[in-house]
Structure formats: structure tokens, C-alpha cells
Amino acid sequence: MRIAYLSSAYLAPVEYYTKLATYDKIYIEQYDHYMKQTYRNRCTISGPDGELALSIPTVKPDTLKCPMKDIRISDHGNWRHLHWNAIESAYNNTPFFEYYKDDFRPFYEKKYEYLIDFNEELCNLICKLIDIHPNIERTSEYKMDFCPEETDFRELIHPKKDFRTVDPEFIPHPYYQVFENKLGFLPNLSVIDLLFNMGPEGLLILQ
């Protein structure tokens, strides 16, 4: 039985979803100390001019070492409206955006208090749309020691780390992207890039 440990992530990259599709059991870490500039609160999509990072603002915690499960979403800067506009303008011309947009729009209309709940519900939706059925559970403590069948991806899947060096088991397979003629293929963007461009065939890419 192959077990993967992952951090919570906002519209996580394709690499993250390959773990959800191929590992037997997934633990989502909720007791890690929250850090900014990670996939916990940001994702990368493709706009007409290249990669675009979207970050969810969070309420500054009372302590430096605040666990992820206690991180609250801030209403600062009208971010829901900005994120949805960015997603819509980036993917409006993709083959499947019209098909899926009504599933995603409510996430940018409803207010969630905790980042981990927002990420989890979005992840559940994406798994359903791609038709993967991972066995996911939140951690009950912060774990430091791992058995041979367990792999710790919590800090490996990270916007500042090159997946080619830290995660050799992930080999991105090119797929159709709407701006590919202009930008070339951009690997390991948010899974919504795969979903809006490829629809149900995204599953084949993940596997």
C-alpha cells in the first residue's frame, strides 16, 4: 500500500493530482506551520502572457507557528472577484470552461472561514470532475518519521522548487493548452489548466 503525505493546496498543480490519482492512501497535513508563498494559498494558471500566480490573502495569525488548520481567509482586496475574473479571462476560450464554470463559480461567491476547508472542498470537486477517487484523510498529528511505503511530499511540491530535481517520479506529459502556440507548453500548472483544456481526458494525463 503506497501512502503519500501532502500539504493542503489551493487549486494544486498537476504534480499534486498525480499523487491523488496513483497513491492508495493520502494524508493531508493540517498540523504543519503555515507558510506563505507555497501552494497552500496560491496557484499558477496560464494567461495569454504566460504564467500567472493567484494568492489567497490570509488573516495574520497571533503566533508565528500557527497550524494550517487554524489559518483564516481574509476578505482583503476583493480577491474572490479578482481570482474568478483571472480564471475566466485565462480559460474562457478553452474547450471545457463553459462545461465546468458553474461548478467553480460558487467557490468565489461563498465566504469560507478557514483556508483548509476551502482547499478541501475545491479538491473534492476537482477529483469528482476528473473522476478520481482518492482515499483522503487529514492528519491527526505532525509526523516526522516515515515507513518505506510512505512518501512525504509536504514540502517537495512547492512553487519555488523544481519538480525535475525534487520529484523524479513526476514526468509531465504535454497536453493541449489554449496559449501553446504563443507560449509553448507550460508544465505543472494548476490542475484547472488541465481540466479546462482537456476535460475528462485529463485523467489519462494524470495516470
DSSP 22-83: H-SEEEEE-SSBP-SSSTTTEEEEEETTEEEEEE--BPPPSSSS-BGGGPBBP-GGGHHHHH
Cα separation, 179 vs 38, in Å, equals 25
Average pLDDT over residues 59-76: 87
Say yes or no to pLDDT of 92 above 90.
yes
Weakest mean pLDDT among 73-77, 123-127, 128-132, 139-143:
73-77
Confidence tier at 120 by pLDDT (50, 70, 90): very high
| β-pair type (42-47, 136-138) | unpaired
pLDDT at 12 (0 to 100)? 96
Confidence tier at 101 by pLDDT (50, 70, 90): very high
Among 125, 127, 132, 136, residue whose Cα is nearest residue 207: 132
Distant-in-sequence, close-in-space partners of 110: CB < 8 Å, separation ≥ 6: none
Average pLDDT over residues 14-31: 95
Average pLDDT over residues 120-129: 96
pLDDT at 185 (0 to 100)? 93
Angle separating helix axes 79-91 and 97-104, nearest 10 degrees: 170
Say yes or no to pLDDT of 82 above 80.
yes
Confidence tier at 36 by pLDDT (50, 70, 90): confident
Say yes or no to pLDDT of 26 above 90.
yes
pLDDT at 75 (0 to 100)? 87
Alpha-helical (H) ranges within 59-169 are: 79-91, 97-104, 115-130, 163-166
Confidence tier at 198 by pLDDT (50, 70, 90): very high
pLDDT at 123 (0 to 100)? 97
Confidence tier at 61 by pLDDT (50, 70, 90): confident
Report the chain's mean pLDDT, rounded to a whole number: 93
Average pLDDT over residues 63-85: 90
Confidence tier at 9 by pLDDT (50, 70, 90): very high
Among 83, 96, 118, residue whose Cα is nearest residue 194: 96
pLDDT at 65 (0 to 100)? 84
